[in-house]
Structure 1
Amino acid sequence: MSLYFREVGSGQPVIILHGLFGSSDNWLTIARQLATDYRLVLPDQRNHGRSFKSETFDYQSMSRDLLDFIEENSIDHPVIIGHSMGGKVAMNFAVNYPSMLSKLVVVDIGPKAYPVHHQQILSGLNHLDLTRIKSRKEADDLLSDYVEEAGVRQFLLKNLDRDEDGAFTWKLNLPVITREIENVGEALSVEKTFSKPALFVKGERSEYIVDDDSQRITQIFPDNRIVSVSRAGHWVHAENPSEFLSVIKAFLME
């Protein structure tokens, strides 16, 4: 099945892959800032946004989705940018299909395994009874019992949609994501390398990439560079977009 996607700009193709609980919509602001010089293609990954729902949710499947997407849309040697879960998809894709892309950008995630740490969010989302909720404000109030940060709640509740009868429904495949959440944290398991340029962008305030990770990153991505964006946590592109864009533009122009 085909992935839903958004597209802006023209020129060298750049694919941006969103993270867990996200969608292509989260990256439109960044994409529009690059669209004067590049063709930005933003797919919704399986079980997210407007793309198809599947009982299978793992990096092998999502990497294959990306391969099919590139071939179906005749995208020639794109730069691939992936954030968080999208970065894991991008890394898996790069080592398995290195001839299909020109450069790799991984945003605030490494190839190592991460412990599952989304239980509170998943508990909150699963406790929202969409048959009873009448407004987004009500959903936000209920979710605040589980997720303290207003900005995170706003991000999560972008996944709410209305069906043809006006009732709330989830865009994302919440039952499958909940069931398969351990797959999201798994390490890059294949013993392959990607020798083309790879940029790792981390948030200064984030602990997803630490100094000790550089050795493993270099083993898999020998032509790598790790850049820290100041005053930013895990959502680097949203917390310091100007510096993030400066780093990305410099890498794209090389």
Structure 2
Amino acid sequence: MLKIYRETFGKGKPIVMVHGWAMHSGIWRSFIGQLAQHYKVTCIDLPGHGRSEKIEPFTLEQISTALVNVVSDEPICWLGWSLGATVVLDIANWFPDRCRSLILLTGNPCFTQKQQWPGMDDKLLDIFADNLNKNCRTALLRFLTLQVNNLPGYKVLLKELEAAINECDIPDSQTLQDGLKILKQSDLRPVLSKIAIPVASIFGNKDILVPVAVGQKMQQLLPAMELNIIDKAGHVPFLSHQQEVLSIISRFME
């Protein structure tokens, strides 16, 4: 079986946390310390990220199956951040009996901009993919900067992001490119519209990567979805606005 790294902290209702593109579960460290005071929190490294083995091909189907295989059989709350939100939506589609609820943290079921759907310009993703081939580390640092740019205390947040990503080897170029391909090509809006379990979404109104306007569009697809918008937050509200995110999760879980 593929080796997927995971760590579990705390006791209580189970939450499984799935990180974003190019990251690993170490990004959650300061956040988990507080969340695990109330819940049983499991953090997973995506295949080819952190301390998990690489998977080929790095596709949503392969990723979802690998993650479901390393957690308990009970229905759980899946929390996904950014690319992780795409992954947990896919898990809810293919493994509904393993999902009690979903928390989508600055995620977009259709990451790139479509007609009447806000998202990232796919041409920018293409440029980013090209820059990865030229200088991977420089491109990643640029990506980290976009997550906290123009936020109060952004220099401190950027250092925290850089320290987290440097704890482990950077995923190889193919895994990173495949992750961008997932973001560019996946459209899980039909999945979101049919979900029958509780879903909460969390957005930052200063997020450059995932426009806050996505939230209202998602709620139109799934009117029962709980929509939360954090003022003056960007793409990493679990770092910049920990207490607000913790309060939202606690309210949703209870």
Which residue is 2:195 aligned to? Answer: 194
Which residue is 1:98 aligned to? Answer: 96
Query: Cα deviation per residue 1:115-162 (whole Å; 9 max; x = unaligned)?
Result: 44454487368536xxxxxxxxxx8xxx49973946547635644468
Structure possessing the higher radius of gyration over alpha carbons:
1
Identity of matched residues, %: 19
Which residue is 1:252 aligned to? Answer: 253
Q: Aligned partner of 1:53: which letter?
A: K
- After TM superposition, give the deviation of residue 109 of structure 1 in Å: 1.5
Native 8 Å contact 1:200 1:224 kept in 2: yes
Aligned to 1:99, the other structure's residue is in SS state helix
Q: Aligned partner of 2:187: which letter?
A: L
Q: 1:156 to 1:179 in 2, by over 3 A?
A: farther
**1:127 lines up with 2:135 in the alignment:** yes
TM-score (norm 2): 0.77
Native 8 Å contact 1:80 1:105 kept in 2: yes
Native 8 Å contact 1:231 1:239 kept in 2: no
**1:87 lines up with 2:85 in the alignment:** yes
Q: Which runs of 5+ in 1 are unaligned?
A: 129-138, 163-169
Q: 1:122 to 1:23 in 2, by over 3 A?
A: farther
Distance 2:170 2:231 in 1: 33
Which residue is 2:148 aligned to? Answer: none
Number of positions where the alignment pairs a residue of Structure 1 with one of Structure 2: 229
Native 8 Å contact 1:34 1:40 kept in 2: yes
Which residue is 1:13 aligned to? Answer: 14
Which residue is 2:61 aligned to? Answer: 60
Aligned to 1:185, the other structure's residue is in SS state helix
Query: Cα deviation per residue 1:51-78 (whole Å; 9 max; x = unaligned)?
Result: 01123112121111122122xxx25211
**1:155 lines up with 2:161 in the alignment:** yes
Native 8 Å contact 1:17 1:86 kept in 2: yes
- After TM superposition, give the deviation of residue 9 of structure 1 in Å: 0.3
